[in-house]
Structures are given as structure tokens and as C-alpha cells.
Structure 1
Amino acid sequence: MGSISFWMCLVMTICTWNKTIGCTWMRTLPRSPSMFQVFSNNTITMLQKMGHEVSREPQITFPDKQYRQINNFKADEQMAFISHTLNAIKKLYSSGKYESTAWDQKGVDKFMNDLYRQTSELDHCVCNLLLYKWLHVKQII
């Protein structure tokens, strides 16, 4: 029984350590933005530069009301939501359908690289949070 407790303690320590290491992406120091904020601002700026050339077709309205509900979510749920949303955006831009536009390919490549970095870091955080929650529930049971 003692060895099981030792191993459970070791796994919990590693998961907690991994959780804090993986989610430094979202942390900020006083008066400085997190890496997530830096990359997010960069991708938004790139989209604004490219956005005016997207299409002349009628625009689809953005579901603001649904997306504002994220403010009521817990922090880990917000992170999962943001990760899911950014992965959907990455999939949309990975389809290559933008190639018929006059967008600068270097700008698109930088945008995709930044988007990939955001999604991979957030996916890592979400995975660690889910693992931590799962192990925490297992420990209680």
C-alpha cells in the first residue's frame, strides 16, 4: 500500500509540475503581456491587414452572443474553448482556399506559424489540465 501511495504522489507531482510548466504560456508578469497575448495580438494584426481583401460576397454574421458566454466559464474551460476555436481557425486556413486572394504569402505563412504555435501551446495546457483533473478525481475515488 505504501508503494502505491508513493507512486501516486510521484505521478501527481510530475503532473502538477508539468501543468505549471506547460501553462506558462498563459501567465503574465506584472506589466507585461503573456506569450499568448503577444502571439494573439500578432495574429489579429495580420488578419486585419489581410482581411480587407477576403471577398466581396455577403459576410456571415459572427455569433457574438454565443462567444461572449465564455466569460461565464471557469479558467480551464476558457482555455479549452480558446484552444478549440483556434484549432478550427487553423483548419480553415490550412484548407488553402485563401490562395485565390491577393494575400502576401509570407504574411500568410507567418500567420499560420503563429497560429500553429498558439494552438500547440494551448493544446499542451489543456491536455495537462485534463490529465491533472482526471488524476485528481481518481485520487479522491
Structure 2
Amino acid sequence: MYTMQSWTCLFLILCSMQSACHCCDWIRHHFGHLSAEYLSQLDQMGGDITKQNSPVLFPTSLYRHIDDAEFEVKVRFLNETIYQIIQLFDGNMKSVTWDKKNLDDFLNILERQFENLNSCVSPAMKPERRLKRYFRKLNRKVLRQMNYSAEAWELIRKETKRHLQRLDILAGQMY
């Protein structure tokens, strides 16, 4: 009986290590490809990216902090940021003039990236509160205050591109 429990425990440990390794391999081999795809879709959705500045400052210090974090924290941050972007695009988009197919493709690829990263994230890890606060503020000060206008969505597209480019750099530095 004791031997059976030992083997079961060993099996569970090996399985958990395998999923962590699979995730690491997935980030190394697939994150960049999907990242390039959704950045391309983001560019193709509309015209030139706006030159207007967002009323919400980009969280540069948060990214600097994450640059020095452990691998698991970085994976969690990648996952959370993509989730927050998906949530941001779940608003009133009636005034958007973007190509709908490119928008749908962009969101589908983001969802795929999120799902793959989500399988790598430990549920025991705490989410980054500052990141969530930043995206809430972006939603409130850009989308809501600008009444979900086409101009507001262009600012969101610009900020989204900045985040996704920065996440691509972060993922590239993980190996």
C-alpha cells in the first residue's frame, strides 16, 4: 500500500513538472508567433495609429519591476495583461470604423494566447493590482469619458499596441 502511494505521488509530481515544461516550451516556441500575428492584425484593423496621447500614463515602472521578477511572475503578468486587454475590447464598439474581420481575428488570437498562458499560471499566485487599476483607469478615462467614440477606440488601439509590443519583449527576455 505504501509503495502504491509513493508511486502515485511520484507520478503526480512528474505530471506537474511536465505541464510546467510544456508551458515553458510553448512560451519559447509559440508566444512570439502569436504575438506577431495579433500585432499585425492590430495594424491592419484601421489606418495609422493615432499620434494623440492617452490621458492615462503608460505603466513603465510596472514593466521595469516585472523585468526583474521571477519566471512564474512574468508568465502571470503576460497572462493578466492579455486578459485585461481582452476585457477592454469587450465594450461598446458601435462607433469603431475598423475592419471587422481583422478585429475578430485579433481578438481570437489574443484569446488563444490567453488560454495557452492561463494553463501555465498557478492559481495560488496573486494578480498584479497595479495592472488591474491601470486598465480600469484606461477604461474610465478614455472609453467612458470619451463616450466610446471612434477617437477613444483609436487611443485604446494605440495603448494596446504599446502593451503587446512590451509583452513581446518581456517574453523574449524570459529565455
Which category of TM-score, normalised to the shorter sequence, fits these structures?
0.7 to 0.9
Residues 45 and 100 of structure 2 are in contact (CA less than 8 Å); yes or no, is this contact kept in structure 1? no
The superposition leaves residues 51-76 of structure 1 with CA deviations (integer Å, 9 ceiling, x where unpaired) of 65788986232111222211101111
Q: Does 2:113 align with 1:112?
A: no
The code of the aligned residue for 1:24 comes to D
Measured in 2, the distance between the counterparts of 1:20 and 1:58 equals 40
Q: Does 2:39 align with 1:38?
A: no
The superposition leaves residues 17-71 of structure 1 with CA deviations (integer Å, 9 ceiling, x where unpaired) of 22223443212xxxxxx21101112222332344657889862321112222111
**What percent identity do the matched residue pairs reach?**
25
Residues 42 and 102 of structure 2 are in contact (CA less than 8 Å); yes or no, is this contact kept in structure 1? no
The code of the aligned residue for 1:105 comes to K
- Alignment correspondent of 2:20: 19
The CA RMSD measured in Å over matched residues stands at 2.7
Q: What are the ranges of 5 or more consecutive residues in structure 1 without an aligned counterpart? A: 28-33, 131-141
2:78 to 78, 82, 88: 82
TM-score, structure 1 normalization: 0.73
Q: Number of residue pairs matched?
A: 123
Q: What are the ranges of 5 or more consecutive residues in structure 2 without an aligned counterpart? A: 126-175
TM-score, structure 2 normalization: 0.60
